[in-house]
A = this chain, B = another copy of it.
């Protein structure tokens, strides 16, 4: 049997640093648990633009289509701000999502016990929080046509199109209901059906899928603005939230920040099953490329490490090994290891990116 394959795309900013720690973890699984991956590495984002004049080379795209899973660090940075829209670092990431058809973006918003004090929210509001936001990732206003900036008379006009088909909504709804069954069995769907027809279709299709296929799951609906409020007020009321690409972008980031564990949060972007039964998959931390601290050994590698844990669970059916890795992270936190982002204002000395990685491997 051949080994499962992983394509690693460290990207820009702190991407390479945090990914180096994930490599240690991957090596540990090969050496100690007989889980050996065929790992290849390539460029995405600004660094790909620097080398190839495009944020994602066609060869890299082709490789991503062939491997069992992609691990991505982060893309972007001020160096690339002035680039034309079509070659911005983000376009590389968006192309991967779109061409791999990774329609279900799983964003756990979890509060780590050791970090509950670190949230801007009161401790009782966030301690023990564990919700899963399922964001549609390959459609909606991110990709709809027509789009662009054109002239009308003397004026420039900027246009984007929110467009959702029934099947696009149905498949991501199924992902949410499936996940809910393994968790708290509750799904809350968010849209703006009071002002957007695409939101009406969203609500209708989610309801139809529910009634026909998942009547056992508890389903509720909320307008996205009320959803933003309720996430801030009492996030524990939610189990799984399902929402569109744009609302999911804002709501999952707000939820991540609320946990106080932003540098800790992974994500999985999943598509349809491939021939070998594994879903097309890309794993990446929720945090960005943090150019301000890049290259200084200050970055927290945990979100990226936990993204690999999600890969173990969702791509390689190694739930027990994923649990092991997550427990190692919890142990390291309980033992007091803190990168700079987890320290707040106190005078404690932070550990470096690589010290954190080593500690996780030791805890394994």
A34 within 8 A of B: no
Query: How many Å lie between the Cα of A364 and that of B100 in the bound state?
Result: 64
Least CB distance, A49 to chain B, in whole angstroms: 14
A1 at the interface (CB under 8 A from B): no
Report which of B85, B125, B232 forms a contact with A254, defined as CB distance below 8 A.
B232
Given A156-B166, A158-B163, A232 and B257 touching (CB < 8 A)? Answer: yes
The CA-CA distance from A234 to B141 in the complex, in Å, is 29
Residues on B with beta carbons closer than 8 Å to the beta carbon of A233: 120, 257
Docked complex Cα distance between A156 and B144 (Å): 15
The reply to whether B253 and A225 form a contact with Cβ atoms under 8 Å apart is: yes
Chain B positions within 8 Å of A39 at CB level: none
Interface size of A as a range: 35 or more
Contact flag A162-B161 (CB < 8 Å), given A197-B85, A197-B149: yes
**A316 interface hit (Cβ, 8 Å):** no
A293 at the interface (CB under 8 A from B): no
The residue on B at minimum CB distance from A227 is B250
Q: Say yes or no: A156 contacts B250, CB within 8 Å.
A: no
**Quick check: A157 and B166 within 8 Å, CB to CB?**
yes
> Chain B residues with Cβ under 8 A from A147's Cβ?
196-197
Contact A159 B162 (CB under 8 A): yes
In the bound complex, do residue A228 and residue B253 qualify as a contact, i.e. CB atoms below 8 Å apart? yes
**CB within 8 Å of B: which of A231-245?**
231-234
Does A256 lie within 8 Å of B234, measured CB to CB? no
- CB contacts (< 8 Å) of A200 on chain B: these are 85, 149, 158
Interface of chain A residues 70 through 103 with chain B (CB within 8 A)? 76, 85, 88, 90, 94
Closest chain B residue, CB of each to CB of A153: B165
Flag whether A122 is at the interface (Cβ < 8 A).
yes
In the complex, what residue of chain B is closest to A226 when comparing beta carbons? Answer: B253
Cβ-defined partner of A196 (8 Å) among B141, B201, B256:
B141
Residue of A122, A195, A225, A230 contacting most chain B CB atoms (<10 Å): A195
Q: Is A266's beta carbon under 8 Å from chain B?
A: no
A192 lies within 8 A of chain B by Cβ: yes
Of the candidates B152, B160, B254, the one whose C-beta lies within 8 Å of that of A198 is B160
A202: chain B residues within 8 A (beta carbon) = 158
The reply to whether A164 and B155 form a contact with Cβ atoms under 8 Å apart is no
Closest to A258 in B: B232
CA distance A144 to B159 in the complex (A): 9
**Of B152, B247, B254, the contact of A165 (CB 8 Å cutoff):** B152
A120-B121, A158-B164 are known; give 18 further A-B pairs, CB within 8 A: A76-B194, A120-B122, A120-B234, A147-B197, A148-B197, A149-B200, A152-B165, A155-B166, A156-B201, A156-B205, A157-B201, A160-B162, A160-B197, A162-B162, A192-B249, A224-B249, A228-B254, A231-B254
Q: Which 9 A-B pairs have the closest CB atoms?
A: A158-B201, A158-B198, A229-B257, A228-B254, A225-B253, A160-B162, A232-B257, A155-B166, A228-B250
22 contacts between A and B (CB under 8 A): A120-B121, A121-B121, A121-B232, A141-B141, A142-B195, A144-B159, A148-B197, A152-B165, A155-B166, A156-B166, A158-B163, A159-B162, A159-B197, A225-B250, A226-B253, A226-B288, A228-B251, A229-B257, A232-B257, A232-B258, A250-B251, A254-B254
